Structures are given as structure tokens and as C-alpha cells.
Amino acid sequence: MRINLRFGTICLLALMLISMSKCKDDPYGDLPPNSPFSFNLPAHFPQPEVPVNNPMTEAKVALGRKLFFEKRLSLDSTLSCGSCHFQENGFSDPRQFSLGVNDSMGKRNAPGLINVVFGKSFFWDGANPTLETQAIVPLTSTIEMHINSDEAIRRIQADPEYVRWFDHVYQKTPDMQGLLDAIASFERSLLSYESPWDKFMEGDSAALNESAKRGWTLFNSEKAECFHCHGGYNFTDEDFHNNGLYRVYEDNGRWNVTGSRFDLAKFKSPTLRNIATTAPYMHDGSMQSLEEVVAHYASHDQPHINRSVFLPNITLTAQDQADIVELLHALTDDKFLTNPDYRQ
């Protein structure tokens, strides 16, 4: 009996050592390299389209999450993508302007990363057509992470764990395309679809209170005009508009990309999902509350040559405005904001 017990103990220790060795050599655990990522979206969502040259896999998403929070991808190793995109804020930045390396500062508020798998372009001016091309910009921008591509990859290649990750996911050594593909895949996995409004759309009439229901009716009416720019399952038309914020803009918006006078001072409509958590608002973070935003649209705003044709038509009572704000709060998805799969 004593011999059997001793033998059993030795076997158990051996198994523990093997397991520890596997964890050390296999940081991705039990994730098969080609296991497809499942979106599992409700019926009122379409099936996302993913680039054929960057298919979503569970292992690639996991690698992308690691890279998203990797501070060595900044010049002084103090910043990561996650330093300006906070989960509790819908992966936006609660500061008006994010701080880059050496406390450098831009002129636009960091947009949220919510359901970006459905995005048709990225940044406030739509300068990048894909998440892959978008991801390189904050890495190399002098006012953000300020690192060149060669140095970024040198640092990743110097880490044996990343070497194992890339070999597992791509069967190659770390390179910039793999890095960008992985970060883009993680960002595409950031899915929000369990707000009270979603439950209401799935048939739970009690998911919205009476004020939010009135707000939903107003939202889709010609009285409030909200649906023109923020309609659909993701509450954005993915297009560019001038919302009468200023008579003269310091930032020319979409014009910077196209050079067309018809795009002067137009900015992309952001999704309104989780909007109650993503203050401050507007491209320049100039508004602090949803009440201020809704009041702006009800004020007939500032005239501009490219101002949206819908804005002068909006007339809202104080109760109307309160009901729309209540609806906007009902777009908060607490599971998205606390999902451990999105954390470092």
C-alpha cells in the first residue's frame, strides 16, 4: 500500500510538472490554431463580413488581445492601444484628448471600439478603410505610440512567448502584417448586443421603461430625425455629416481625406451603442453629457455650408429630449463593459 501510494504521488507530481511545462511552452493553452471564431449574434444582427485574407480564429483573437494591451509597442514602453481605449468606457477615452508618448496630444476624441466588425471605414474622417490599415496609425503616429514598424517587430521577435504565439497562429516568425491582423481580429471580437434595447427588440416589452419607449418612437420619427444618421442595428449609417457644431471648424474632417468641398467639416456618425459610457462627445470631445448633445440638436445649431438638411427640422420639447436621453441610456450593454474576454 505504501509503495502504491508513493508511486501515485510520483505520478501526480510528474503530471503537474508536465502541465506546468506545457503552460510555459504553450501560452495559448488549448486554443487550436484554426478554430474559427463564433460571433453568436442575435437575429436582429446581420452576419459580420470578415476579410478573406484575415479570417477570424480563436487563437488569433487571443493573440490580438495580448498585443492590444502590449506597452512595448510604444516608443518608451508606457502605452498600449488599451491606454486610450478603456473597456468600461466602451473602449473609448474619457479624456477629451488622449495623451501619447511624452504627453503629446491630438485634437480628436478617441472613438469607441464597439461592433467595429461592421465598420466601413475608421477614424472620425474615415481615413482608413480597414481595421488592419487603421491599427498601424496609432503605433507609428508621433502624437500617439510613436514607434516605427521595424522597432516594434524587433521587440516582439525578442520575446520567446510571442515567437511561440506567432508560430502557433501563423506558422511564421512575428511580422508586422501578423501583428496588425491579430489586433484587428481582437477588435472585431468586441461585440455589444445585450442592452435593454436589444432585449426589447427580441420581444421583451418590459426591457424598456415608458420614457425609453417614447424615446424610441421619437428616435424613428421625422420630428427628431435621429434615425437618418443613427438608424439600424448598430445605430450608425457609417457615413459622414456636418452636425452644425460650429460656424467655422478648426478640423476639416472628411475633407482632409477627399479634398472635396462637399466633405468640408463632415465627420463620421459614431455608433450610439453604450453611448452613455463614452463621454465626452463629438469629434473634439467638446460636450460632456447626453443632455447637452440632445439639446444641441434641438437648438437648430450653427449654420454651415455643409450642415445636414435634417437639422433645421428638429423641434423637441423638454420631455422629448428627456425621453431620447432615456433611450440612449437603454443602449448600455453591461456585459460588454465587463466581459472578461476583453480584458488584459
pLDDT in tens, 332-343: 999 999 999 999
Residue 230: pLDDT band by 50, 70, 90 thresholds?
A: very high
What is the reported pLDDT for 212? 98
Element (DSSP H or E) covering residue 267: strand 267-268
Q: 160-170 vs 58-68: helix axis angle to the nearest 10?
A: 150
Asked whether the predicted pLDDT for residue 295 surpasses 50, the reply is yes
Known catalytic residue at 292: no
What is the reported pLDDT for 98? 96
Residue 15: pLDDT band by 50, 70, 90 thresholds?
A: very low
Which backbone phi and psi does 66 adopt, to 5 degrees? -60, -45
Query: What are the angstrom distances between the C-alpha of 204 and each of 200, 315, 335?
Result: 5, 30, 18
| Residues near 178 by beta carbon (within 8 Å), at least 6 away in sequence | 166, 169, 170, 172
Mean pLDDT, the chain, rounded, equals 92
Element (DSSP H or E) covering residue 240: strand 240-241
Share of the chain above pLDDT 70, in %: 92
| Residues near 299 by beta carbon (within 8 Å), at least 6 away in sequence | none
Asked whether the predicted pLDDT for residue 205 surpasses 90, the reply is yes
**Residue matched to cell numbers 516568425:** 173
Instruction: Please pick, among 132, 144, 225, 326, the residue that the annotation labels catalytic.
Output: 144
Residue 17: pLDDT band by 50, 70, 90 thresholds?
A: very low
Torsion sign, CA atoms 30, 52, 50, 41 = negative
Amino acid 155 reads: R
